[in-house]
Structure 1
Amino acid sequence: MIKCHLSRIMGERKLKIVDVARETGINRGTITRLYHETASRIELEAVEALCHYFGCQVGDLFEYQTNSDD
């Protein structure tokens, strides 16, 4: 399973979804799905824009976690 840390990062910086969407140019719906971890896919351009905006690496935004059922 892929865990998205966007909500934590945004919370630490006290940012709203609309702020991140406006500053990155990413659709607000995409940010919302990532924030709530309901996204099933994301464009690489969006990942790049988020990494640039937050000054982080891809691994800071996303983490692979093994399922305990495996």
Structure 2
Amino acid sequence: MSPAEMESHGITVHLDRLLAERGMTLTELADRVGVTVVNLSILKNNRAKAIRFTTLTKLCEVFGCQPGDLLGYDPGRE
């Protein structure tokens, strides 16, 4: 098994949907959360390997949502 296959996971991040629903840009979200646009882009494109609970908390505060609204599980992606 290759290193990339060993690190694959089935978690998806729904930033696109939440941004669209709230009419917010990635840059605006980055400013409000205190995370770089690059790091949010990594999350948005489902390339992140981890997320800090502090970042998840801030995203939920800004979006007014629960972690389950932001994250999903897709077993086909594993």
Which one of 50, 60, 65 corresponds to residue 69 of structure 2?
A: 60
**One-letter code aligned to 1:60:** D
Q: Could you tell me how far apart the structure 2 residues matched to 1:37 and 1:68 are? A: 10
Report the CA distance between 1:68 and its aligned residue: 7.7
Aligned residues: 69
Question: What TM-score, normalized by structure 1, do the two folds share?
Answer: 0.86
Partner of 2:53: 44
Closer, same or farther: CA 32–66 of 1 in aligned 2, 3 Å: same
Identity of aligned residues (%): 30
**Bigger Rg, which one:** 2
Task: Verify: 1:23 aligned to 2:32, yes or no.
Answer: yes
Between Structure 1 and Structure 2, the one with more helix by share is 2
Equivalent residue of 2:38, what SS?
helix
Letter in 1 for 2:24: L
Alpha-carbon distance change, 21 to 66 in structure 1, aligned in 2, over 3 angstroms: same
Deviation at 1:67, TM superposition (A): 2.2
Deviation beyond 6 Å, 4+ runs, structure 1? none
TM superposition score normalised by structure 2: 0.78
Change (3 A) 1:68 1:22: closer
> CA RMSD for the aligned pairs?
1.6
In structure 1, stretches of 5+ residues that fail to align are none
